[in-house]
């Protein structure tokens, strides 16, 4: 398995002049760091835009400068080369693109205004459209891979379940922080230890891209609920896992404040699907064997 990356992820200088900001560079670096951390091979797509317009080109829409026969011929040629490479190397698991690019956009692309409509339209860029048979993720989705696992950890069963969830998530190239691994596992801790654990977990939430929270039980664990509230205030993506079939009302599973601040899933498969960019380095089906 390997990923096919848009080349500007490794070489941002290929992008149009002035459009790259620090948040873009951070996302590019996180994707490369994720792949390196989990030994995920990567290959780079050719940069059709820079090959056609030259380096240090001005930004623009597809209709501005790329809607030409020459560029269409170039895209056809590059697609053929990429697919010929797949015959030897195999198809990639997915393509990591860069949204809004007129060439390599994933969810949307700067196409250009037609009949007064918005210049940014939904769908893939002109080059990535050629590979609609391959899954594609935006670079900011692929850069979300640091998980804080918020869950009760007061019994052997709870700790075992937490470790199972962490192991499953790591099988999809997610780096998981488990509070039970930083000393939060003893009732006889003094105030200094409590402050140390609190600080470690707080920093871990701050550094996380995603919070996965276990909200099983007649009511969700109070510490987990606090962590969800803090993460929500920080603008983090929150996925709540509730495998408990009990409900507290006709329209509530456990607590409306927790449910409205997160995406609630009810099993492992739904949890995996809710991850922004799951990369199966060790799929759940293999873990179960």
Please indicate, yes or no, whether residues 20 and 89 belong to a single structural domain of this protein: yes
Please indicate, yes or no, whether residues 165 and 74 belong to a single structural domain of this protein: no
- Is the distance from CB of 228 to CB of 238 less than 8 angstroms? yes
Number of domains in the chain: 2
Please indicate, yes or no, whether residues 117 and 184 belong to a single structural domain of this protein: no
178-215 as b/e: b if 16+ CB within 10 A: bbbbeebeeeeeeeeeeeebeeebeebbeebbbbbbbb
Please indicate, yes or no, whether residues 99 and 204 belong to a single structural domain of this protein: no
Which tokens hold the place of 195?
């402050």
Q: List the one residue out of 284, 244, 237 whose CA is nearest residue 266.
A: 244
Please indicate, yes or no, whether residues 137 and 160 belong to a single structural domain of this protein: no
Please indicate, yes or no, whether residues 154 and 228 belong to a single structural domain of this protein: yes
Identify the domain containing residue 137 by its residue range.
3-142
Boundary of a domain, candidates 117, 142, 167? 142
Q: Is 196 helix (H, G, I), strand (E, B) or coil?
A: helix
Please indicate, yes or no, whether residues 155 and 114 belong to a single structural domain of this protein: no
pTM: 0.89
Q: Is 190 helix (H, G, I), strand (E, B) or coil?
A: coil
Please indicate, yes or no, whether residues 138 and 219 belong to a single structural domain of this protein: no
Strands 237-241 and 210-214: parallel
Which tokens hold the place of 48?
């059709």
Q: Return the pLDDT at 160.
A: 93
Which tokens hold the place of 185?
């596992």
Residue 257 sits in a domain whose CATH number is 3.40.50.450
Please indicate, yes or no, whether residues 168 and 185 belong to a single structural domain of this protein: yes
pLDDT along the chain (289 residues), means of 10: 95 92 96 97 95 91 92 96 94 94 92 83 94 96 96 88 95 95 66 85 95 89 93 96 81 80 93 95 74
Please indicate, yes or no, whether residues 151 and 132 belong to a single structural domain of this protein: no
Please indicate, yes or no, whether residues 185 and 248 belong to a single structural domain of this protein: yes
Q: Return the pLDDT at 203.
A: 95
Boundary of a domain, candidates 126, 142, 158? 142
- Is the distance from CB of 143 to CB of 158 less than 8 angstroms? no
Q: Return the pLDDT at 185.
A: 56
Boundary of a domain, candidates 110, 142, 174? 142
- Is the distance from CB of 232 to CB of 238 less than 8 angstroms? yes
Dist CA 251 CA 37 (whole Å): 41
Please indicate, yes or no, whether residues 83 and 208 belong to a single structural domain of this protein: no
Dist CA 7 CA 137 (whole Å): 14
Q: Return the pLDDT at 147.
A: 97
Q: Is 65 helix (H, G, I), strand (E, B) or coil?
A: helix
């Amino acid at each position: 398995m390997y990923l096919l990356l848009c080349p500007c992820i490794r070489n941002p200088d290929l992008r149009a002049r002035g459009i790259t900001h620090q948040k873009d560079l951070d996302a590019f670096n996180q994707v490369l760091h994720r792949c390196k951390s989990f030994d995920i091979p990567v290959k780079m797509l050719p940069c059709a835009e820079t090959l056609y317009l030259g380096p240090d080109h001005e930004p623009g829409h597809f209709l501005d400068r790329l809607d030409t026969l020459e560029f269409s011929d170039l895209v056809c040629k590059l697609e053929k080369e990429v697919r010929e490479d797949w015959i030897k190397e195999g198809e990639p698991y997915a393509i990591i693109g860069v949204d809004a690019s007129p060439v390599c956009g994933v969810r949307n692309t700067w196409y250009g205004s037609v009949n007064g409509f918005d210049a940014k339209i939904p769908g893939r860029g002109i080059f990535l459209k050629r590979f609609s048979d391959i899954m594609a993720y935006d670079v900011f989705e692929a850069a979300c891979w640091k998980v804080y696992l918020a869950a009760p950890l007061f019994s052997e069963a709870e700790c075992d379940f937490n470790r199972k969830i962490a192991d499953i998530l790591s099988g999809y190239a997610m780096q998981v922080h488990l509070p039970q691994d930083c000393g939060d596992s003893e009732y006889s801790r003094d105030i200094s230890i409590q402050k140390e654990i609190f600080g470690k977990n707080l920093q871990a939430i701050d550094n996380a891209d995603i919070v996965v929270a276990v909200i099983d039980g007649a009511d969700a664990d109070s510490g987990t609920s606090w962590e969800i509230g803090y993460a929500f205030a920080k603008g983090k993506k929150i996925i709540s896992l509730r495998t408990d079939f009990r409900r507290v009302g006709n329209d509530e599973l456990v607590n409306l404040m927790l449910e409205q601040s997160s995406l609630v899933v009810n099993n492992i498969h739904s949890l995996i699907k809710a991850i922004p960019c799951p990369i199966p380095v060790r799929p759940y089906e293999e873990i179960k064997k």
